[in-house]
Amino acid sequence: MRVDIEDLDVAYAGRTVVSGVGLLAADGEIAGLVGPNGSGKSTVLRTVYRHLRPVAGRVLLDGTDLRELSPARAARHVAALPQERGGDFELTVREVVAMGRTPYKRAFAADDAGDRDTVARALAEVGMAEQSGRRFSALSGGERQRVLLARAFAQDPDVLVLDEPTNHLDVRHQVDLLALLRAARRTTLVSLHDLNAAASVCDRLHVLHAGSVVASGPPREVLTPALLADVFGVRAAVVEHPLTGDPLIAFDHREPVPQGHGANPAASGARSHSVEAGRPQGARSHSVEARRPRSQGSE
């Protein structure tokens, strides 16, 4: 299923957080949302899983406006993995995953064999089948994220929406989770802080800045030194990953781009510490679709 977001404006507590956002995830594609803190990534995702209602604009699932569907029907298409942790309510892993069946069940309906089968398969898919009787709140961070992903799988959705799913995970658990995402082969919208992770797992990237999309396209076209300087305010070289061939961003962690200097020439890859097989990716400008951010909010 294809997701199109058109001209999305979202206000939160009376303040416009996102304006004029348009982006897409083609069928079966992993589309990544990247951008600095407060750029609007989570806000965009929250409108897709209907936690927030947009002021203007639409979210389309294969051309159907999400708002034309009932909440339960929409939830059969779109499953979410938000950033919240939930309270400690003595729920077991299996009970948490079984929540994924909520949009399919009427009031008073018990889980049937089909539901139990779906839940078991989702648990197996994330490798948590043997942990199904454990208390959810007693799990480690990596285990929790896998269980929540299993809950999303149990929803049997066409579209997965994940908000920073690798936050607070060590690198092995990050790799595990992203591998599960790739293996799921579903249309996916995912926000990621780690640009290198985004560059290697996403088929398409949308860069957000101050509530607007400033660049969209394949990772190797979007992630240029100039964009990294402009949007993230960091100096970086983009080289080729020696193992995978994906774009690899080598940040300069010693000093940022001076304030107010958008495209700092020094940041555009000229001084890249060249990796043997690598060559700086991309030209000096952003990708074809690149735009300057609109008005700058206070970030």
Residues that bind other proteins (CB under 8 A): 13, 46, 49-51, 70-76, 78-92, 95-96, 99-103, 105, 107-108, 110, 126-131, 133-135, 137-138, 143, 146, 155, 161, 176, 179-180, 182-183
Residue closer to other proteins, measured from CB, 97 or 257: 97
- Cα–Cα distance between 147 and 93 in angstroms, integer? 7
| 218: Cβ contacts below 8 Å, ≥ 6 apart | 203, 204, 205
Give the nearest distance from C-beta 95 to other proteins in angstroms.
5
What does each C-alpha distance from 74 to 8, 30, 107, 111, 255 come to in angstroms? 18, 20, 18, 20, 46
Identify the three-state secondary structure at position 215. Answer: strand
Residue closer to other proteins, measured from CB, 85 or 284: 85
What does each C-alpha distance from 290 to 138, 178, 198, 284 come to in angstroms? 45, 27, 18, 12
- Cα–Cα distance between 74 and 237 in angstroms, integer? 42
Residue closer to other proteins, measured from CB, 90 or 255: 90
- Cα–Cα distance between 17 and 180 in angstroms, integer? 31
Give the nearest distance from C-beta 125 to other proteins in angstroms.
8
Give the nearest distance from C-beta 59 to other proteins in angstroms.
13
Give the nearest distance from C-beta 72 to other proteins in angstroms.
4
Give the nearest distance from C-beta 206 to other proteins in angstroms.
20
Residue closer to other proteins, measured from CB, 97 or 234: 97
Give the nearest distance from C-beta 62 to other proteins in angstroms.
18
- Cα–Cα distance between 130 and 93 in angstroms, integer? 10
- Cα–Cα distance between 144 and 81 in angstroms, integer? 11
Residue closer to other proteins, measured from CB, 108 or 260: 108
Residue closer to other proteins, measured from CB, 106 or 273: 106
Residue 110 corresponds to which tokens in the numbers above?
């018990």
